[in-house]
Amino acid sequence: MNSINQIINLLKSHPLTDILSVGYIDSDETIKKIHTIQEDLYLEFGNSLLRCSSVNQYDKLRMKIVNQIEFDFDFELEEDDEFCVCSIFNMYLFDPYGANQITSAEFLVDDQCNIEEGIVKCAQFNIGIKDELFLDPTHTFGIQINGNRTIKEWIEKKAYGESEYSELVWNGNSEIIEVISI
């Protein structure tokens, strides 16, 4: 597993080069269909991948640095179907061909998260001066990507019970992550 500090080192050292959705191609139809599996999403940083997974029954986001895409779904494909990867980079970024350096990141945690293993409630990445990616693992089908949601909006819409949250903030310049109680 990767700690938040290791993940931040990846964000600092390489620009975001792609966003990859995994799934499979259904060959039963006249026209082949791509079915995405939204429990996993990959952020590509050069030769490194940040695997983002919806875990704990769609309650947490686990981030893990990996070398290759892993197709480990809880079902088997039909004989004619095949695994696939789809780039969704230009659907979410204003300037997908720009530098796309992550300039800051925010991670929401509660007492059940484990930042030493890269497990948080949700994450927000600011990219360059125009783009944002908000990763919400609590969506019905897995990770929902949103470009303009904030941590505070997520808490207002998703917070259940009496959980106390903290926000880990990396501002892009410092080595230290600031912890803010919410």
CB contact at 8 A, 59 and 38: no
pLDDT tens-digit series, residues 70-89:
877 667 777 778 888 999 98
Question: Cα separations (Å) of 106 from 69, 70, 90, 109, 122?
Answer: 25, 26, 22, 10, 8
> pLDDT digit string (tens) for 155-181?
887 665 567 888 899 988 776 677 777
pTM comes to 0.89
d(CA 163, CA 176): 25
